[in-house]
Each structure stands twice: as C-alpha cells, then as structure tokens.
Amino acid sequence: MNTNEIKEKLKSKEYDFLRIDKHLGKNIIFLTTGGSYAYGTNVETSDLDIRGIAVETSNEILGSAIFEQFEDRKTDTVVYALRKILKLMLNCNPNVLEILGTKDEHIFICNKYGKMIKDNKDLFLSKRAIQSFGGYASAQLRRLQNALARDNYPQREKEIHILNTIKTQIATMKDRYEVFSKENLNIYIDKSKKEDFESELFIDVNFKHYPLRDFKNIYAEMSNVIKDYDKLNHRNSKKDTNHLNKHAMHLIRLFLMGTELLEGKGINTYREKDREFLLKIRKGEFSYSEIFEMVNDYEKKFDYAAKNTSLKDEPDYDKVEEEIRTLKKACGNHILKVIIETCYLTEDEKIAMCKAVTNAGADYIKTSTGFGTGGATIEDIRLFKQHIGPDVKMKAAGGVKSKDDLIMFLEAGCDRIGTSSAVGLLKGEQAKGY
C-alpha cells in the first residue's frame, strides 16, 4: 500500500471514527503511520497502523471528564490525548517518540499545534532514553532467548532471564517511587530447596519508614515480570518462526534508533537505509547465532553512545514551559490545568514542573490523572505550595479517602479536590480506590 492508497483508505467508512468520534475530529492535531509502515519494513501482508495526538475538550481540561487515548482495534488505530503523550515523551517512551520521527509523506494531519510538537521534538530527549530504549531492547532479547530455549533451558538460565528483566525495571523505578538502594532491596539467584527447582530468585528487603503504597507497587511490578515469563513460556510453544524473526528485527531496530538518538542524530523512525537489512532478518536469512552476534555488536555501540551522549540528564523544562505558555495562549479566556502525574516524578522534577507551570501562566496544577500508580499525597501538595506562584491554584486528585483527608488537603492550600466520593466523604464515609 503506497501513501496515496493509505490516504484514500483513511477517507473510507472504516475510518469514519476519525471524523465523528467526540474525542477526535477537529481535536486531532497530528496523525501518522505506526508499526511496519512507520519503520519502512512493511511487506505485502503488513497491517496498517495509525497513530495520532488529540487535544482534550474543555470538559476534560476542567476535569469533569477523562480522556487518555482512543483505540480502535479493528484498524490498529491509537490516538493519544495531548497530556498523556507529552508525559510519555518526556520519559523517552520509544512507542510514542517514534510518532514524531515518521517520514513527511506519512503525516496525514498536522495543524499548527501538531507542527509545534514535531518541530520541537528534540526537547523531549534526555538520558532517560538509555533506560527506555535499552529496556525495550532487552525485553525483546529476553523474549527471543526465552522463545528459542523453550523448555530446554536449565532452570538457572530461565531465572537469569527474569533477573535481568527485573534489574532493568528497577533502574527506572527511581522516577516513580521513593529512592532506594541495593541495601534496601536486593534480588539474586541462589540454590533452591524446592524439588522442582535447581535454583531460584531470592529477595532481601530492608526498608524503614518507606511509603507502603510505593512498596506495594514495586512488588506488583516485579511480580508481573514473573507472570509475564510464565505466560511467555506458554505462548512460545504456539509461536512460529516468523514471529521470532519479527522479534529479532525489532530488537535490532531498537538498538539502531536508540544509538542514533543518543548520538544526537534525532528521532529517525523510518529506516530507509536499514530497510533491506531489517527485512532480511524478518525473512529469516540469518541464523539465530548470527543474530545474537549482531545484537552483541549493536549493544556495545548503544552502550558506548550512552556513555558519551551529550543529551541532558533530564528533559528541557524551559522548552516544556514554552509549550505550556503556547497552550495557555490557545485557551484564551478558558482555564488551563496542567496535570504532572506526581507518582512518576522525583521531588526535583516536581519542583521543576511547578516553576514551568507558574512561569507559563497556567491556571491550575493538578497532581494526578487517576490512571497512574498513585494519587495525591499531602507531601506533594505542601511541596507545590512552596514552589508555585500566587496566581496558580492547586487540585489534588486521588489520595483523599476520608473527611479528615479532605480537610487536611484544603487546609494545605488545595483549591479543588478531584474525587467522585465528595458527598460520601462529607457524611463520614470512606472512599474506595486510590
């Protein structure tokens, strides 16, 4: 399918949702290809994936309604809400960054706000890409290794795969949870006393005065890794060679893209120069031993680029501030509320966002969307109070579970409380959920 054919397909009845859905239509500011068409690795049988960005409605901005993303599985279409995708981009999430690196012919909608994001895509880049791209590549490698091993791998080798995945995961946890060290939480492999296990994973935990919700979420994330590997072993028996070759291709592609990004060459989703090479991998023209040798080579190049990158440690908050200011101008007399999702940020990042929101002239700063790993905390509200300007109001969302909590948050300076249980709280009832 060529570009003109894709454009005609998007005009068809099958894609009417792009024009009539209340979240889409004129709210779409950017629309492009995803998947194999975006990478340039599409073949005759490839499905068409569409990715986009949409601004929220006034009700969603004010908090009376929620919109994070639109998904149509029949057509493999995903359109992200602006607030959500900005957060993911600031964390250098490969799946969303690649939206900004597609070739120009594959951009089907791009208004002035979409163009502003695309033209300033480099502001989202930071050393966070080391963990995001490296982590995604490692996950692909583990899937491939595990798939090839099937049930023939010794138990210890399987445990090593799980341990490596968890270690990659832990490296990113400092962005989401209270900082901890190896002395607080250490995971390792040792001899097992179980009959079915030669060796297995063990954990040493030594926390004092640590947030219980953070620990709960850390444990849940690590548990999910083990569950995923168990599921993977079951699925692998059903996977054919084509699926494994596709894993191998994406593994190499992630290393190529990540290395270029760290070298300062930008976001290059469309792999024109690598197309034939990547398609050879997909077609199975290399043995798996050859692929693993290539992976080892590309991983070394990635590690070298990571050690020598000139990217900033954190995203360019000055540019983020400029973008918020532009959005405020676009809002006119309407209220602009900026949600920063505190559960994913360090204290320094929260302070930086307070300053950006203040300087950009936004009306509200809000703690949470309701879709993250945690809601508002009184500590975050007190931190906001110290670092926002006098004209910025605060909204706490989540974390308010009782009448006492409600009073405490209001006394700390909150102007609005995001809860669906307000009436119940005032009656002395306990709120459910976070």
Query: Which amino acids are annotated catalytic?
Result: 303, 366, 395
Both tokens assigned to 144: 């491939």
Which tokens go with 281?
């991998």
Q: How many CB atoms lie within 10 A of CB 183?
A: 8
3-state secondary structure of 195: coil
Contact 407, 427 (CB under 8 A): no
Q: Quick one: which of 302, 341, 308, 307 has its CA closest to 175? A: 341
The tokens for 216 are 């709960």
DSSP-assigned letters across all residues of 134-162: HHHHHHHHHHHHHHHHTT-S-HHHHHHHH
Could you please report the per-residue DSSP string of 206-271? --SS--HHHHHHHHHHHHHHHHHHHHHHHHHTT--HHHHHHHHHHHHHHHHHHHHHHTT-------
d(CA 303, CA 180): 24
Q: What are residue 52's phi and psi, to 5 degrees?
A: -160, 180
Residue 411 is encoded by which pair of tokens? 């006394």
**d(Cα 251, Cα 260) in Å, to the nearest integer?**
15
* Exposed / middle / buried, residue 305 (Cβ in 10 Å: 0-12, 13-18, 19+): buried
272-279's contacts with Cβ under 8 Å and 24+ in sequence apart are: 272/40, 272/103, 274/40, 275/40, 275/41, 278/39, 278/41, 278/249, 278/252, 278/253, 279/41, 279/43, 279/249
C-alpha–C-alpha distance, residues 396 and 366, integer Å: 6
177: tokens are 């949870």
Residue 409 in contact with residue 361, Cβ under 8 Å?
Answer: no
Tell me if 384 sits within 8 A of 345, measured CB to CB.
Answer: no
β-bridge pairing 337-339 and 416-418: unpaired
Length of the chain measured in residues = 434
Rg, Å, the chain Cα set? 23
